[in-house]
Structures are given as C-alpha cells and as structure tokens.
Amino acid sequence: MYINCLDFTKQHQSITEKLDVKSLDRASEIFDNLHGILEFTLSGEINKQNRPILRLKICGKIMTSCQNCLEEVEIPLSYDVIVPVFYNERELDVALEDPDRDDYNGIVAEAHFDVLNFVEDEIIMLLPIAPKHEECT
C-alpha cells in the first residue's frame, strides 16, 4: 500500500487497516512464533506550524516466544506518534540536529511511500529486544 505523503497530508486523508502480524516478514525474522492482529490508523494533517505530519496509531496484541521459558508471551501495544514530513533530506537533517527540538523523528516526503513498511518499522521498534514474561526476569 503506497501513498503520496504530501497529497495525503494536504488532503487530510486517513487509512485504517487490520494487520496480521504473521505477514510482517522482517519482524518474523527477529521474533520467534510471532502472531496476532493489530489495527493501525495512519492519518495526514497539517500542523499549526504549517508542517505536513503523519499520525500513526497502532493497537492490539502480539504473541511471541518468551526468551526465558520459551512459552508464549503476550505483548499489548497501544501507540500513538506524530511524524513530521520534510520536503528533503537536508531539511530533515537540520531539524534533527536542532538542540531545542524535543522529538527525534521525521521522514522525507515520498511520492510512493510504503505504508506497510513504515508500520512494520514502528512495530519492530516498539517490541522488546528480548520478550519475557514478568515472572521470567
């Protein structure tokens, strides 16, 4: 699924999808027995500073193997992030180097932005490196 980032944000578009975690190839290579259903919503907006932004919400539960006991462990996800969209790489670099900036994310606008790849990246970053039950610490 692809979008044009700038058109998507300027037109205040939104996508809501259910995602079978088994279809996430890169995440499945990292985590054992990964499964579950997540729902994500990606919406485009223009913020008060006239900056295009993408807002990503992910919720649901992922199941994988506990790194200690190897039994199934449930990882609940509830995630809401705003990602600024920059017009070029230089603009992104300048923004990320700003010491007064309180967030350290952003993307460069693309005419063929891969939504599912972006969502998978975010899911991978949300999951613990070594998933474990609380009692298996």
Q: Tell me the pLDDT tens digit for each residue of 49-101.
A: 899 999 999 999 999 998 888 899 999 999 999 999 999 989 888 877 776 66
Mean pLDDT of 12-28: 95
What percent of the chain has pLDDT above 70? Answer: 96
What is the spatial distance between Cα 4 and Cα 120, in angstroms, rounded to a whole number? 18
* Residue 72, domain member (yes or no): yes
Q: What is the mean pLDDT of the chain?
A: 91
| CB burial string 6-20: b at 16+ within 10 A, e below | bebbeeeeeeeeebe
Q: Are strands 72-86 and 107-108 parallel, antiparallel or unpaired?
A: parallel
Please check whether residue 6 is in contact with residue 52, taking contact to mean a CB–CB distance below 8 angstroms.
yes
* Residue 97, domain member (yes or no): yes
pLDDT band of 103, cuts 50, 70, 90: low
How do residues 109-131 score in pLDDT, each as one tens digit?
A: 999 999 999 999 999 999 988 89
Closest CA to 19 of 6, 4, 34: 34
State residue 113's pLDDT score: 96
Query: Is residue 102 over pLDDT 70?
Result: no
* Residue 98, domain member (yes or no): yes
pLDDT band of 104, cuts 50, 70, 90: low
* Residue 135, domain member (yes or no): no
State residue 115's pLDDT score: 97
State residue 136's pLDDT score: 83
Rounded to two decimals, the pTM is: 0.89
DSSP classification of residue 23? G
Please check whether residue 42 is in contact with residue 115, taking contact to mean a CB–CB distance below 8 angstroms.
yes
- SS3 call for 136: helix
- SS3 call for 49: coil
For residue 20, give its domain range.
Answer: 2-129
* Residue 136, domain member (yes or no): no
State residue 56's pLDDT score: 97
| Residue 137 CB burial class (10 angstroms; 0-12, 13-18, ≥19) | exposed
Closest CA to 125 of 83, 73, 71, 72: 83
Domains in the chain, number: 1
